[in-house]
């Protein structure tokens, strides 16, 4: 029987570059706003961080409706990076974040290296922002719209440029829509990333068979939720043995058991996105469950289980504490 005291003594904290989070849980970009609406249903002091909705240089209206389709064990979204643009964001939104009892991570999107640099710089210089996540799943106008995250050279270029623009911790969020995620993961690490978020949504589409038309206004969208969890777990497993920096695993996490899969595969922290739409208490339940689970195993900290199911992990992360 695990006592509440034993569970309380377990260290769930995690280090991402120079940022220490009390809990290894981050709320996925685009799925939690800036936490305002969720504060009524969840205790924000008991999550690690909120990753804000991705912001671009200019305001974006997003894709044509419909933008969301329910699928078995998941959802397809094609929001199209709807956001008010960095000027409006800094003027009207960012001040509210100082009250949040958890870390705040700004998410940057763009269509050119210059745009990533400008938005990174402007967000990162604000004291309310603890770290920057680069959402590199955007088309690069300089290379005929090829997604940054799908091209190792473009990933390297954008990460190096953003690295030079801020000394705050830099997380690079990788796309699963690539042939070999380890190639991109290594490029991001060499270019100066402090951590990798693995994975963003998986490309997909759905067709309305009555109307013989794509269901999403944008035709293609990103699949998230439990349907993508096995894809995400494998991506984390592979990336974790390719790089030494921490991995924030995400994709379909909705329970303690889901979260454990990611830690055991080699994630030092987890992201929770779609599950928040149906149950905002999922992140708190996972944190409680993790503490009890670890105490029950006689573990003192979350780092003791990171990479345990990954046979190549120990070779890369040779000494204790390296993973967290």
Write out the residues near ligand FMN by the rule CB under 6 A: 28-31, 53-54, 77, 79, 81, 107, 135, 173, 200-201, 224-225, 228, 250-253, 271-275
Work out how close the CB of 31 gets to ligand FMN at its nearest, in angstroms, rounded to a whole number: 5
Nearer to ligand FMN, 134 or 295 (CB): 134
SS (H, E, C) the chain: CCCHHHHHHCECCEEECCEEECCCEEECCCCCCCCCCHHHCCCHHHCCEEECCCECCCCECCCCCCCEEEECCEEEECCCCCECCHHHHHHHHHHHHHHCCCEEEEEECCCCHHHHHHHHHHHHCCCCCCEEEEECCCEEHHHCCEEHHHCHHHHHHHHHHHHHHCCCCEEEEECCCCCCHHHHHHHHHHCCCCEEEECCCEEECCEECCCCEECCCCCCEEEECHHHHHHHHHHHHHHHCCCCCCEEEECCCCCHHHHHHHHHHCCCEEEECCHHHHCCCHHHHHHHHHHHHHHHCCCCEHHHCCCCCCCCHHHHCCCCCCCC
Nearer to ligand FMN, 251 or 266 (CB): 251
Work out how close the CB of 38 gets to ligand FMN at its nearest, in angstroms, rounded to a whole number: 14
Is 102 one of the annotated active-site residues of the chain? no
Nearer to ligand FMN, 28 or 110 (CB): 28
Nearer to ligand FMN, 188 or 228 (CB): 228
Nearer to ligand FMN, 218 or 274 (CB): 274
Choice among 31, 102, 138, 150 that is catalytic: 138
Work out how close the CB of 66 gets to ligand FMN at its nearest, in angstroms, rounded to a whole number: 12
Work out how close the CB of 212 gets to ligand FMN at its nearest, in angstroms, rounded to a whole number: 26
Work out how close the CB of 9 gets to ligand FMN at its nearest, in angstroms, rounded to a whole number: 29
Catalytic residues: 138
């Amino acid at each position: 029987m695990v006592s509440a005291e034993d569970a309380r003594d377990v260290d769930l904290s995690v280090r991402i570059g120079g940022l220490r989070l009390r809990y290894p849980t981050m709320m996925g970009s685009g799925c939690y706003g800036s936490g305002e609406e969720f504060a009524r249903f969840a205790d924000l002091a008991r999550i690690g961080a909120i990753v804000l909705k991705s912001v671009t240089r200019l305001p974006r209206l997003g894709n044509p409706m419909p933008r969301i389709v329910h699928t078995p064990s998941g959802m397809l979204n094609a929001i199209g990076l709807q956001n008010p643009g960095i000027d409006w964001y800094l003027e009207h939104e960012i001040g509210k974040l100082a009250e949040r009892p958890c870390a705040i991570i700004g998410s940057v999107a763009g269509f050119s290296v210059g745009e990533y640099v400008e938005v990174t710089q402007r967000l990162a210089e604000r004291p309310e922002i603890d770290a920057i996540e680069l959402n590199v799943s955007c088309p690069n106008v300089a290379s005929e719209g090829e997604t940054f995250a799908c091209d190792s050279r473009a990933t390297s270029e954008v990460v190096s440029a953003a690295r030079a623009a801020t000394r705050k911790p830099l997380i690079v969020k990788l796309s699963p829509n690539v042939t070999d995620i380890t190639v991109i993961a290594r490029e991001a690490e060499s270019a100066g990333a402090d951590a990798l978020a693995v994975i963003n949504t998986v490309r997909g589409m759905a067709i309305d068979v009555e109307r013989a038309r794509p269901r999403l206004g944008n035709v293609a969208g990103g699949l998230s939720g439990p349907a993508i969890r096995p894809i995400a777990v494998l991506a984390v497993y592979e990336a974790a043995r390719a790089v030494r920096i921490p991995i924030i695993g995400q994709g379909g996490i909705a329970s303690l058991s889901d979260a454990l899969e990611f830690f055991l595969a080699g994630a030092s922290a987890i992201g929770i996105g779609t599950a928040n739409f149906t149950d905002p208490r999922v992140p708190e339940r996972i944190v409680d469950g993790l503490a009890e689970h670890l105490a029950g195993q006689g573990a003192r900290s979350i780092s003791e289980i990171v990479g345990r199911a990954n046979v190549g992990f120990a070779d890369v992360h040779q000494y204790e504490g390296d993973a967290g």
